[in-house]
Amino acid sequence: MISGYEHKFIEGPGGAAFSRTLLLLHGPGGDANDLIPLGRSIAPDANLLSPRGNVPENGMNRFFRRLAEGVFDQEDLRVRTEALSGFLALAAREYGIDAGRVIAVGYSNGANIAASMLLRNPHALQAAILMHAMVPFTPDTIPQLDDKQIFLSAGRNDPIVPEANTLRLIELFRSSNAVVTPFWHNSGHSLTPGEASAAKEWLSSRSDLE
């Protein structure tokens, strides 16, 4: 266990040092196994690094605390974001992965902490695939994401993440000079095969992220 996170690491077929890495961040109640099939589908050539959230809520694993539905404990989010960034740096050394080629793939709570990482520590991630993310917080100073690539999928009928919140998140990233590719579908908060396929197509089209 590195820095408090139980996790799984699966080396890419080309070797850890020569493969990009997907940082897989599960949703509420998930574990280190949840997104491995998705990660392998999106990028068969990648290392997979999948930590388990270490914040319990009613028996479910999360990556940070919340005060109510859609209301985040901001101090805990800050601390947990720093801890996850530290875990990523330690894992890069432990497994010999290229720290400059890490792409976050997050769903729901996992996507929210990935968004927080982008806003607080832009250099920790090369890019991100965010599925059903919310605005984690509004930074006092808009960070510079320098054309960082972000794929963001959302459901128009999501009962947890209102469409207006998704649009705010897109605008926040774009105001930070990130390049955001939105993907909308008509379902709710669950992951859909369509968004997984769209994420795979997006990533395979990005020669700069190989």
SS3 of residue 103 by DSSP: strand
- For residue 189, indicate whether it is catalytic: yes
Amino acid at 92: A
From the list 19, 50, 153, 158, the catalytic residue is: 158
- Parallel, antiparallel, or unpaired for β 127-131 and 47-51? unpaired
- pLDDT at site 54: 94
> What are the tokens at 93?
């050394």
Residue-wise pLDDT tens digits, 96-130: 999 999 999 999 999 999 999 999 999 999 999 99
- For residue 26, indicate whether it is catalytic: no
- For residue 158, indicate whether it is catalytic: yes
- pLDDT at site 41: 96
From the list 3, 41, 98, 189, the catalytic residue is: 189
- pLDDT at site 70: 82
Residue-wise pLDDT tens digits, 74-101: 999 999 999 999 999 999 999 999 999 9
From the list 19, 108, 116, 153, the catalytic residue is: 108
Delimit the domains of the chain by residue range.
7-209
Amino acid at 193: P
Q: Which of 51, 43, 30 is nearest to 199 (CA)?
A: 43
- pLDDT at site 3: 72
- pLDDT at site 57: 87
- pLDDT at site 23: 98
pLDDT averaged over 10-residue windows placed end to end, the chain, 210 residues = 87 94 96 97 97 92 91 95 96 96 98 98 96 96 94 96 97 97 96 96 91
Q: Which fold has domain 7-209?
A: Rossmann fold (3.40.50)
Is there a contact between 195 and 183 (Cβ–Cβ < 8 Å)?
A: yes
